[in-house]
Amino acid sequence: MLALCCVSFSQNKQILYGFSEIPQSLILNPGGEVNNDWYFGIPLLSHIHINGGTSGATIYDVFANDGIDFNTKLQNAVNKMNSKDFFSINQQLEIFSGGFAFGRTYEKNEYLSFGLYQELDVISYFPKDYAILALEGNQNNINRVFNADHFSANAELISVFHVGYNKKVNKNFTYGFRGKIYSSLINLNSTKNRGTFVTELGDNNFYNHIFDLSLQLRTSGIVSLTEDSSEFETKDLTKRILFGGNLGLGFDVGFTKKITKQWTLDASLLDVGFITHSKDVENYSVQGNYNFEGINPFFPETESGQTADEYWSEIEEDFEELFTPDTTNTTYTTWRPIKFNTSINYAFGKKREKDCNCIKDESGYLNAAGLQLFAMSRPKQPQIALTAYYYRRLFKGLSAKAIYTIDSYSFNNLGLGISANLGNVNFYLMADNFLQYKNIYNAQSVSLQLGFNYIFSKNED
Amino acid sequence: MIKNICFIICTSFFVLACTEDIDFDQARDFEINPVIESSLVFFNENANEFLINGNEISAFQDFVIVDIFNDQFIIDNLVKTEFKFETVNSINRDFELQVDFLDNNSQLQHTFTFIQEASTNNNDVFSSYTETFEDVTLEALKRTSVLIFTLRILPGQTINENSLGRIELKSLAAFYFNIRDDS
């Protein structure tokens, strides 16, 4: 199975996807079905999303109060993980959002939505070889090639302003797209490290130490914060959120296609976009090759009358040249992680209401079940997850969705979400990985989304 | 109203979520003990390299200025060091290597000498030597900023253009670290 070969989770909001009672589901598929006339999100409370995860060791693995020596647990955790294991944090906070239907008055089939949200996204792969070198040194690792690419990390704090258009072409087909302006507040990017370090048995001496390194860390928005003379204030942060950071552009597209009365197919592609980092940029790089076999103090190879100290100074200079990072302020571009969602859905179980003859197609069925696929680009390899779900309208204004998600490290991810309407106020709450909540510190992934909206639907009974 | 609902639902989530006993203070026990080995000095020379204008040179000396041992990281975390030497001699003369450790003011902090025996029949004679730096000697090493190497061919049969054999020396330094939170 495809999902088996790749680790996953993170920004997968599998419960919210397709949950059309909740306006924020349009963020996951701009071509999703809309069943309100207008809405606005309660500012700062309309969408709160938190997700943290590790594909490797958990907090409990390392910090359990179990009498085992901390360093033993740390060593075990290091041994257990490989360089494809990662830690990730994703957090979103919607600052404001809204949407309204428009078009011909008797059948408003177009919908415009917009909003501004803040997003923090951090991913760091486990730098296995660096950890081994730090833990053990090279003495017991002669001939072991230490890979520089094991260090790979990206952290970004951005704000996203977006406007989306959605059109229901006919009762069987809806499409939509969304334009996005990104404003990056902070970015740290070190995903292009290459090279190796190895200690081999030497020809002239015990060892030959071979450095072949190409390391790179790119930052934006950091220097102004960390400088001693920094005059950074909160108002500068506000400015960066409102297009004052490093800017980028992106888009989302999506559709929903009704195949039969009961079968529906939908898909979306999100965050196809980039950010150009030109302001407040500082990049560091270490590049070069060096072989060190030791020094020959009495008979320098050059035989140019060089003293041993001159010879040694040259080696020191070479080392310094290799390891002193070059600092540049070159503009760079980062790509946003692209997300792909698709699902096939089957609706069933008609509502039996004797006193109502106004059943709409969309609301005619009480149940739905389906399969969803989520994929997302990441620095080393894409993350993929497959979800099976069951959706049920419990009673008027209250619906729930239960999910089961699989990926390579977890076959027991159960989640649940509810959406409740109390008058015009909509509230939703969803979380996954329920089985891991029995010891949250041992959870490899914890995800929570909640929010409040004010929704007006004139088609409601 | 909204706040109440939110509160109830959120709390129920966190009540459902349990934890087992964990202790973040353990991080203070963090301790790693890497051992870094690095090639040091080497040479491999035929007997006739010890001649200048046909005359035997019986002592060679040179020095290197090193600041690595005074580095704060080394001072804080280095707990033991070994200098290991392996020598091969097929010249019919004993030789010795002396290494002197001087501080910034050219004051001698430490010294050691080892002898490699002669080869009477020009076959390889092997020898090895390890100098260990711990406690007092390690402190001396951490004060060192100049290393003086002296190679002496000890008295014996004179070397000339036709003398056979060679002297080979390999060496490494093993640095034993103990890195932990001492605060």
Let me know if residue B62 belongs to a domain.
yes
pLDDT at residue number A244: 80
Both tokens of A87, joined, read 């830690």
Kindly report the nearest CA distance between residue B83 and chain A, in angstroms: 12
pLDDT digits (tens, 9 = 90+) for A298-328: 766 545 666 777 777 888 888 888 888 899 9
Q: Give dist(CA A94, CA A116) in Å, integer.
A: 6
Rounded mean pLDDT, A370-384:
90
Q: B22 and A438: CB-CB below 8 Å?
A: no
Kindly report the nearest CA distance between residue B10 and chain A, in angstroms: 9
Chain A's closest residue to B65, CA to CA, is A309
Strand, helix or coil for residue A44: coil
Q: A292 and B38: CB-CB below 8 Å?
A: yes
pLDDT at residue number A2: 31
Both tokens of A172, joined, read 């069987």
**Chain B interface, best mutation among A205, A209, A446, by max B CB count within 10 A:** A205
Which stretch of DSSP H or E encloses residue B174? strand B166-177
Kindly report the nearest CA distance between residue A22 and chain B, in angstroms: 16
Which stretch of DSSP H or E encloses residue A168? strand A153-170
Let me know if residue B5 belongs to a domain.
no
Kindly report the nearest CA distance between residue B116 and chain A, in angstroms: 17
Which of B1, B149, B172 lies closest to A297 in CB terms?
B149
ipTM surpasses cut 0.90: no
Which of A139, A204, A440 lies closest to B44 in CB terms?
A204
Residue A9 pLDDT level (bands cut at 50, 70, 90): very low
Let me know if residue B10 belongs to a domain.
no
Both tokens of A97, joined, read 């959002």
Both tokens of A117, joined, read 């949200």
Q: Give dist(CA A242, CA A184) in Å, integer.
A: 10
Instruction: Decide: A447 and A9 in contact? Cβ < 8 Å.
Output: yes
Kindly report the nearest CA distance between residue B136 and chain A, in angstroms: 24
Q: Give dist(CA B107, CA B113) in Å, integer.
A: 18
Of A203-207, A362-366, B95-99, least confident by mean pLDDT is: A362-366
pLDDT digits (tens, 9 = 90+) for B70-85: 999 999 999 999 999 9
Let me know if residue B15 belongs to a domain.
no
A338 DSSP 8-state letter = P
A57 DSSP 8-state letter = -
Q: A71 and B64: CB-CB below 8 Å?
A: no
pLDDT at residue number A57: 83
Let me know if residue B21 belongs to a domain.
no
pLDDT at A133 over 90: yes
Both tokens of A100, joined, read 């309204």
Instruction: Decide: A48 and A450 in contact? Cβ < 8 Å.
Output: yes
According to DSSP, the residues that pair with A219 across neighbouring strands are A188, A282
Q: A299 and B64: CB-CB below 8 Å?
A: no
Residue A229 pLDDT level (bands cut at 50, 70, 90): low
pLDDT at A359 over 50: no
Let me know if residue B24 belongs to a domain.
no
Q: Give dist(CA A182, CA A242) in Å, integer.
A: 10
pLDDT at residue number A389: 96
Strand, helix or coil for residue B148: strand
Report which residue type is found at A386: L
Farthest CA pair distance, chain B? 105
Let me know if residue B16 belongs to a domain.
no
A10 DSSP 8-state letter = T
pLDDT at A1 over 50: no
Closest CA to A224 of A180, A185, A181, A198: A185
Show Cβ contacts of residue A317 under 8 Å, excluding neighbours closer than 6 positions. none
Q: Give dist(CA A90, CA A8) in Å, integer.
A: 13
pLDDT digits (tens, 9 = 90+) for A254-289: 999 999 999 999 999 999 999 999 999 999 999 999
**What is the distance in angstroms between the CA of the first residue and the CA of the last residue of chain B?**
49
Let me know if residue B26 belongs to a domain.
no
pLDDT at residue number A230: 60
> Residue B172's domain is classified under what CATH number?
2.60.120.660
Rounded mean pLDDT, A409-421:
86
* Phi, then psi, of B64 in degrees rounded to 5: -130, 145
pLDDT at residue number A8: 37
Which of A137, A294, A313 lies closest to B39 in CB terms?
A294
User: Into how many domains does chain B fold?
Assistant: 1
| Helices and strands, number each (H, E), in chain B | 3, 13
- The rounded mean pLDDT for chain A is 87
Neighbours of B7 (CB within 10 A): 10
Which of A42, A137, A440 lies closest to B18 in CB terms?
A440
**In this structure, which long-range contacts are made by residues A308-311, counting pairs with CB atoms below 8 Å and at least 24 apart in sequence?**
A308/B62, A308/B63, A308/B64, A308/B149, A309/B62, A309/B63, A309/B64, A309/B65
Residue B13 pLDDT level (bands cut at 50, 70, 90): low
- Higher per-residue confidence, A355 vs A36: A36
Single pTM value for the model? 0.84
pLDDT at A4 over 60: no
**Considering only CB atoms, which chain B residues are within 8 Å of A447?**
none
Q: Give dist(CA A52, CA A41) in Å, integer.
A: 25
Which of A142, A293, A441 lies closest to B19 in CB terms?
A441
Closest CA to A54 of A449, A387, A446, A448: A446
Beta strands in A246-382 (DSSP E): 246-258, 263-277, 281-292, 326-328, 332-335, 339-350, 365-376
Structural domain containing residue B75? 32-181
Show Cβ contacts of residue A310 under 8 Å, excluding neighbours closer than 6 positions. none
Q: Give dist(CA A29, CA A178) in Å, integer.
A: 9
Instruction: Decide: A448 and A441 in contact? Cβ < 8 Å.
Output: no
Closest CA to A399 of A374, A424, A423, A416: A416
User: Measuring CA to CA, how many Å separate B117 from each of A36, A47, B41, B51, B151?
Assistant: 96, 81, 20, 20, 13
- Percent of chain A past pLDDT 70, that is, above it, reads 89
Chain B's closest residue to A301, CA to CA, is B43
pLDDT at B26 over 60: yes
